[in-house]
């Protein structure tokens, strides 16, 4: 059994089997960038569908609602 604190200390990786759990964008940026050095740009940038995939807009809107 893994505890949340233990996973956080190991950057969302199980130290028993090396399984990598999902890491959200904020945690990934904190892992890769120096503290207070990341500056977000293009906050209003939205995904486009240049290849015309079916149901793409619905999928993107569903994912956007989750985050």
Q: How far apart are CA 62 and CA 52, in angstroms?
A: 18
**pLDDT of amino acid 66:** 85
Return mean pLDDT, the chain. 90
Average pLDDT rounded to a whole number, residues 32-61: 92
**pLDDT of amino acid 50:** 92
Domain count within the chain: 1
* Domain span holding position 8: 1-37
Q: Tokens 């994912």 map to which residue?
A: 63
When pLDDT is cut at 50, 70 and 90, the band that residue 59 belongs to is very high
What contacts 40, CB < 8 A, 6 or more positions away?
none
Look up residue 16 and give its two tokens: 């028993």
Q: How far apart are CA 59 and CA 64, in angstroms?
A: 9
Average pLDDT rounded to a whole number, residues 1-20: 88
Q: Would you say residue 48 lies in a domain? A: no
Q: Would you say residue 64 lies in a domain? A: no
């Amino acid at each position: 059994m893994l505890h949340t604190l233990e996973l956080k200390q190991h950057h969302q990786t199980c130290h028993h089997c090396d399984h990598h759990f999902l890491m959200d964008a904020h945690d990934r940026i904190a892992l890769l960038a120096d503290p207070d050095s990341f500056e977000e740009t293009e906050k209003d940038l939205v995904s486009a569908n240049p290849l015309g995939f079916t149901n793409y807009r619905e999928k993107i809107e569903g994912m956007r609602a989750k985050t």
